[in-house]
Structure 1
């Protein structure tokens, strides 16, 4: 009897497996076809939207004509430069400092192009922007230096070797005669 059940169940199992595999293949093929169709529809719709929109503003008719672009110089000889234009991005400055009425003691000056103001109204120089440094002689200092034209103001800082707080002053790069 067991053999009979095995024999009868084996063909039943095989036919069942065959039917279920056929059922599983059909929906998969159908799903793939639906996904391809949906992808195609999405592609067509987005293409229609992109190319269907005219790019102009507003609706109906009367389109405006765009203004022609100005001619662009294509060679160096086509360029025109105004008379007196200076290509040099730096300027020469002469700095004269006199603090002899304050102190003639040994002191040192530094000039910076970049700085920030602290909350206590003193200045914090950006040490990488130092333009000039040197010693004062009897409270006086005279020197020349170059600075970028773009620098409108500079920080002048004078340090004393006796430990007192430095003198600091922000001056216009046009004014290089400094007296405290």
Structure 2
């Protein structure tokens, strides 16, 4: 613990001591000799950029002054209810995953973007039902049912325009 405190104090002391050069002498060259262009002697004509911060004052508004379109919702998510029934195919152990992102199309095959999984649930006797929230800008969801026997998942692409989705395989 003492080593950590000593290291912290050392770093603090080193950062507190700024760079700055040698002492004595004036940095004001306005009274010193200058070349023909008016630059102080020894000045190469380069300037350092200004670090001045300009802030703009934005007038604040009161809530009563805001104009909101009719029907605007401050809640940008929809609640979706999904019921999946694959019991006609299999009642073995299976797992349901719902994805907001995918690539490909239904004809050539879909590939789920596994980082966009928004809901998951095990199936019981081939049936699962769940509610979850999804961002309202998502138009379609990819549903996959994975079986524990290693076969490829079955997939269904569904629209979120209907908040109650019933998929019977």
TM-score by length of 1: 0.55
Higher helix share: 1
Distance 1:119 1:141, change over 3 A: closer
Q: Rg bigger for which structure? A: 1
Q: Which has the higher strand share?
A: 2
**Shift, 1:128, TM fit:** 1.2
Secondary structure of the equivalent of 1:102? coil
Contact 1:109 1:134 in 2 (8 A): yes
Q: CA deviation at 1:74?
A: 6.1
Root-mean-square deviation (CA), in Å?
2.2
Number of paired residues?
109
Matched, 1:89 2:69: no
In structure 2, list runs of 5 or more residues that go unmatched: 1-36, 38-58
The gaps in structure 1 that reach 5 residues or longer are: 1-35, 37-72
Corresponding residue number in structure 1 for 2:109: 122
Any idea what the Cα deviations from partners look like across 1:7-30, whole Å, max 9, x if unmatched? xxxxxxxxxxxxxxxxxxxxxxxx
| Residue deviations 1:44-98 (CA, integer Å, cap 9, x gap) | xxxxxxxxxxxxxxxxxxxxxxxxxxxxx96242222234321111111111001
